[in-house]
Amino acid sequence: MLTQDLEQCWIEFLAFVKKSCSNAEYQNWLAPINVLEITTESITLEVPNVFVREYLLDNYKRELAHFLPTRENQEPAIDFVIAEAKPATIEAAVVKDEPIAAPAIIDLKLNRSYTFDHFIEGPSNQFVKSAALGVASRPGKSYNPLFIHGGVGLGKTHLLHSIGHYISDKHKKLKVQCITTEGFINDLVESLRSKSVDQMKKFYRSLDVLLVDDIQFLQSRLNFEEEFCNTFESLINQNKQIVITSDKPPSQLKLSERLIARMEWGLVANIGIPDLETRVAILQYKAELKGLKIPSQVAFFIAEHIFNNVRQLEGAINRLSAYSGLMGFDITQEIAENTLGEMLQYVPHKKVTVDSILKSVSSMFNVRVSDLRGTSRQKEVAFPRQVAMYLAKELINDSLMKLASAFGGKTHSTLLHSWNKIRKQIESDETLRRQIQMTKQNLEA
């Protein structure tokens, strides 16, 4: 086949697709494809990312094979090249025609104190924070989209705004928009009313970075979901960065399969409940910002009793700060208890027994309970057994003799020896400390 003929075939294929799909779909998926090279036998297409290639092959393989020459295996004779991501200074920043104004109602300001500097790290949020920082440093080039999910008051909005601040600061030319999902919907409603939908679409599609908070509010808003999905696809196919937050992972959202699949394309990261040490660190940090001194023992007390939401920890600091401002007292545990009252959650401690410890240790270290009770000196068994003995002495208020006999008739000196050994090892062994902490949490859960 002549090269001109092949070029004509491609043009005809495009014309065919254009007739059979929606305009948005065409603009998002077909328009970004460039023909890089044509030989007599094959065509090389440049696509902005693997998603476009997959889209083309998933949806139009048969048609492609019909319009273009095929190889021996009946596959269309196409080679794909993924375009190099354009440098961050996108041409859109030097807009040729008139600048596209941001619709007024979505002009959401970033919260000034929601920056990376003010975000306290711990094991529950380290991963998501570094992903957020990665995205902020190299928008459109690391994880795209970045999907952050987790419970209420755990710092999702804080991280989203941190990305916004960082990019506006370090990549000044990039056009960043941070919206709540409600904001997006309101904006769409308003632009439908004032017949300016095209302008709104143009605005969103001209962004370099779109930050969307609380996507769960898009559930059961069918009409808006489609427009959101089109905007999403348009941006991602130009390698523009998208970050989304949600109270659930994508798979649990009641949204179309298409949108869920799109949101799972990049990195899905969970932000968890901070552990005790991190809660104390957050508490101390926020107290310091307010000029409030909280003795470490009282900070631990508060963090132990406010445990599933960072926003509540802040509430506690605000209340204590108001109190100490009014009364001029130093904060003691008694004052904290009285002032915070119903904010403190008291969970009845489950009764810890040697049996429950053995069960918990057996699942943490992947050994059998019967082996823990047995006499094997193999390291894989003997070490978890010592951990279990350590926990028994720490958590159960009973005589050493009784505890030791519950371990299949060991002596009290064996138990004491194990306790001492593990106690010392914890001081230098971070992994062990975490394992023990998690076992304790499981016991109390």
CB of 122 to ligand ADP, least distance (A): 7
CB of 353 to ligand ADP, least distance (A): 35
Binding residue count for Mg ion, defined by CB under 5 A: 2
* Pairing relationship of beta strands 267-270 and 241-246 according to DSSP bridges: unpaired
Residues that bind ligand ADP (CB under 6 A): 114, 118-120, 125, 152-158, 282, 310-311, 314
Out of 157, 206, 237, 246, the only residue in the binding site for Mg ion (CB under 5 A) is 157
Residues 42/7, Cβ–Cβ less than 8 Å: no
Between residues 219 and 405, which has the closer beta carbon with respect to Mg ion? 219
152 binds, among ligand ADP, Mg ion, none (CB under 5 to 8 A by kind): ligand ADP
Between residues 64 and 218, which has the closer beta carbon with respect to Mg ion? 218
Does residue 180 interact with Mg ion by CB under 5 A?
A: no
Between residues 157 and 231, which has the closer beta carbon with respect to Mg ion? 157
> What does the angle CA 442 – CA 443 – CA 445 come to, to the nearest 5 degrees?
60
- Evaluated on CA atoms 247, 188, 163, 82, the torsion sign reads positive
Residues sharing a CB contact under 8 Å with residue 148, sequence separation 6 or more, in sequence order: 128, 131, 132, 156, 159, 160, 243, 244, 245, 246, 269, 270, 271
314 binds, among Mg ion, ligand ADP, none (CB under 5 to 8 A by kind): ligand ADP
CB of 69 to ligand ADP, least distance (A): 53
Tokens of 234: 């348009």
The CB-nearest residue to ligand ADP is 155
CB of 136 to ligand ADP, least distance (A): 16
154 binds, among ligand ADP, Mg ion, none (CB under 5 to 8 A by kind): ligand ADP
Between residues 280 and 422, which has the closer beta carbon with respect to ligand ADP? 280
155 binds, among Mg ion, ligand ADP, none (CB under 5 to 8 A by kind): ligand ADP
CB of 213 to ligand ADP, least distance (A): 7
> What does the angle CA 301 – CA 306 – CA 312 come to, to the nearest 5 degrees?
125
Does residue 237 interact with Mg ion by CB under 5 A?
A: no
* Residue 291 bridge partners (DSSP): none
120 binds, among ligand ADP, Mg ion, none (CB under 5 to 8 A by kind): ligand ADP
Between residues 309 and 353, which has the closer beta carbon with respect to Mg ion? 309
149 binds, among ligand ADP, Mg ion, none (CB under 5 to 8 A by kind): none
Cα 306 to chain centroid distance, Å, stands at 23
- Evaluated on CA atoms 438, 440, 441, 445, the torsion sign reads positive
Scan for tokens 């409600």, then name that residue. 182
CB of 183 to Mg ion, least distance (A): 13
CB of 158 to Mg ion, least distance (A): 8
119 binds, among Mg ion, ligand ADP, none (CB under 5 to 8 A by kind): ligand ADP
Instruction: Tell me the residue length of the chain.
Output: 445
Scan for tokens 């937050």, then name that residue. 245
CB of 278 to Mg ion, least distance (A): 19
In SS3 terms, 232-285 reads as HHHHHCCCCEEEEEECCCHHHCCCCHHHHHHHCCCEEEECCCCCHHHHHHHHHH
Does residue 234 interact with Mg ion by CB under 5 A?
A: no
311 binds, among Mg ion, ligand ADP, none (CB under 5 to 8 A by kind): ligand ADP
CB of 247 to ligand ADP, least distance (A): 8
The identity of residue 324, as a single letter, is: S
- Count of alpha carbons within 13 angstroms of residue 296, beta-carbon side: 3
Between residues 145 and 384, which has the closer beta carbon with respect to Mg ion? 145
Residues sharing a CB contact under 8 Å with residue 442, sequence separation 6 or more, in sequence order: 360, 363, 364
Does residue 360 interact with Mg ion by CB under 5 A?
A: no
Residues 12/67, Cβ–Cβ less than 8 Å: yes
User: Exposure of 268 by Cβ count < 10 A (0-12 exposed, 13-18 middle, 19+ buried)?
Assistant: buried
The identity of residue 20, as a single letter, is: S
What gap in Å lies between CA 211 and CA 196, rounded to an integer? Answer: 22
The CB-nearest residue to Mg ion is 157
359 binds, among Mg ion, ligand ADP, none (CB under 5 to 8 A by kind): none
165 binds, among Mg ion, ligand ADP, none (CB under 5 to 8 A by kind): none
- What residues make contact with Mg ion under the rule CB under 5 A? 156-157
